[in-house]
Homo-oligomer: A and B are copies of this chain.
Amino acid sequence: MNETLRDPKMRMAVKMRAGAAQKVVTEVEKKGRKASKETRRQQLIEATIDSLAKRGYAETTLADVADGAGLSRGIVNFHFESKENLLIATLQYMADEYANHWSSALEKAGDRAANRLWALVLADFDRKICTKRKLAAWCAFWGEAKSRPTYQALCGARDVKYQETVISLCAALKEEGGYSYAPEAMALAVCATLEGLWLRLMMGDGTTRENALAAAIEAIVALFPMHIARNGPK
């Protein structure tokens, strides 16, 4: 596919367009090999996410990633040594991005448990995180995670902290409000709901980001009626 990219001149054009979009980074990159290396790695990771989203895990090839990045066939092995390493780096990148996103949302939300829970839910369906391509890439990894300890560890690490956070929020709300649930069970249910909605978004039945967010809100409003209303924490 896209045979035009096999032509070096065409490739250069792609590279320059990409460069134009990040002018500042490019300036810094000119001097200093380290920066350049990181940039290239980043570029390849993005191309990997694209390929995972477009073709799925099983059909993702290094050739496709290289084409997507507008670079040559041997490039991945130069920067990542192996396909496996590239995929691990990609998952790592997504996991970090996700964790940073919800942690910073949590910080901004302040101290009240209701505000914090609300912020977590909104963060999960934020445009930055909740993209078709990224959801698809996540799901590609989930599909392989069970049989690959490395992926499992990276996906799992994502969840452990998140779920602990949700458990403590559920416990705090119970304390405040007089609910009767078991915090661990309720937290598991909340996390599962959010993940399940992601799965739905990805599967491409009619569900949209807005539907999903609405469903998530409906659920937490019903689960924590003393603390959360449809338009936000009380």
Contacts and interface: CB of A to CB of B under 8 A. Distances in A.
A181 B222 contact: yes
Contacts of A222: 179, 181, 186, 222-223
B152 A57 contact: no
Contacts of A140: 143-144, 146
A136 B142 contact: no
Nearest to A141: B143
Copies in the complex: 2
B143 A203 contact: no
B219 A155 contact: no
A110 to B, nearest CB: 25
B152 A204 contact: yes
A195 B205 CA distance: 14
B216 A189 contact: yes
A35 interface: no
Nearest to A144: B56
B219 A146 contact: no
Contact of A186 (B139, B196, B215): B215
Nearest to A193: B193
Contacts of A145: 203
A163 to B, nearest CB: 8
A156 interface: yes
A192 B195 CA distance: 8
Interface in A103-123: none
A169 to B, nearest CB: 15
A164 to B, nearest CB: 12
Interface string A142-186: 111111100010011001100000000000000000010110011
Contacts of A156: 203-205
A143 B139 contact: yes
A185 B59 contact: no
A137 to B, nearest CB: 10
Contacts of A191: 196, 200
Given A192-B200, A193-B219, 9 more contacts: A53-B146, A56-B146, A139-B142, A155-B203, A182-B218, A189-B193, A192-B192, A192-B197, A196-B196
